[in-house]
Chain A
Amino acid sequence: DIQMTQSPSSLSASVGDRVTITCQASQDINKYLNWFQQKPGKAPKLLIYDASNSDPGVPSRFSASGSGTDFTFTINSLQPDDFATYYCQQYENLPYTFGRGTKLEIK
């Protein structure tokens, strides 16, 4: 199985900050990576697919890049609604696997 190493596991930041989360795959996954946002008690929401493509309606402050094994996800100018947990997920190979998540908290 492909292991997804996501870091950091938690992050404290303030409204207006820029934050970056990284995800490393244990083998080449090409561009086949999703980024999800999940809030407590809610279903995950897809923000980014194919490593860098934003889902329709996702604010432009969310961006991502990478290919192969190394990926980054960035939120520019954090808004109060952005405090949540973020997950990467690969879909190059079955089983599809997730990173362990990054909990973004308000400083």
Chain B
Amino acid sequence: EVQLVESGGALVRPGRSLRLSCSTSGFKFDDYAVSWFRHAPEKGLEWLGFIRKKAFGGTTEYAASVKGRFNISRDDSKSIAYLQMTSLKTEDTAVYYCARGYCTGVVCYWGQGTLVTVSS
């Protein structure tokens, strides 16, 4: 069974950093990209970025709203992807989700999400 589990969400002060993890199982992790999304309170869904699989260079793409502040990485030996968030702002408060692949075709597995609250 394919599973993705996000962790690391917390209450943090503006300007601080936080790293989220996306632990996976049930599939060959290094065959897939990993995408990150978020859902802010009373707002819609937002695509944050993805990391390609190593065979495609393991390169990353980001939304403008997080580029330069967020960094996506992966550890294929552990089947985990990370979202490193720096210079956090109150508007980064959201539930953060990881997903297998790019979610640009058939079957898109998501984790259950982890809540990040940025507040003083």
A interface list, Cβ under 8 A from B: 1, 32, 34, 36, 38, 42-46, 49-50, 53, 55-56, 87, 89, 91, 94-101
Interface membership of B27, Cβ < 8 A: no
A91 to chain B minimum Cβ distance, whole angstroms, is: 4
Query: Contacts A43-B110, A43-B112, A95-B63 given: A50-B45 contact, CB under 8 Å?
Result: no
Interface membership of B82, Cβ < 8 A: no
Interface size class of B (residues with CB under 8 A): 20 to 34
* Contact across chains for B104 and A91 when beta carbons are under 8 A apart: yes
Chain B, residue nearest A6 (CB):
B44
Assembled-state Cα–Cα distance A43/B109 (Å): 9
* Contact across chains for A95 and B45 when beta carbons are under 8 A apart: no
* Contact across chains for B106 and A44 when beta carbons are under 8 A apart: no
* Contact across chains for A53 and B106 when beta carbons are under 8 A apart: yes
* Contact across chains for B45 and A43 when beta carbons are under 8 A apart: no
* Contact across chains for B44 and A94 when beta carbons are under 8 A apart: no
**Of B97, B105, B113, which is in contact with the most chain A CB atoms at under 10 Å from its CB?**
B105
B41 to chain A minimum Cβ distance, whole angstroms, is: 11
Interface membership of B55, Cβ < 8 A: no
Please list 29 pairs of residues, one from A and one from B, whose beta carbons are closer than 8 Å in the complex, sorted by A's number.
A1-B64, A32-B104, A34-B103, A36-B45, A42-B112, A43-B110, A43-B111, A43-B112, A43-B113, A44-B45, A46-B103, A49-B104, A49-B105, A49-B108, A55-B106, A56-B107, A87-B44, A89-B45, A89-B47, A91-B102, A91-B103, A95-B64, A96-B47, A96-B102, A98-B45, A98-B46, A98-B47, A99-B44, A101-B44
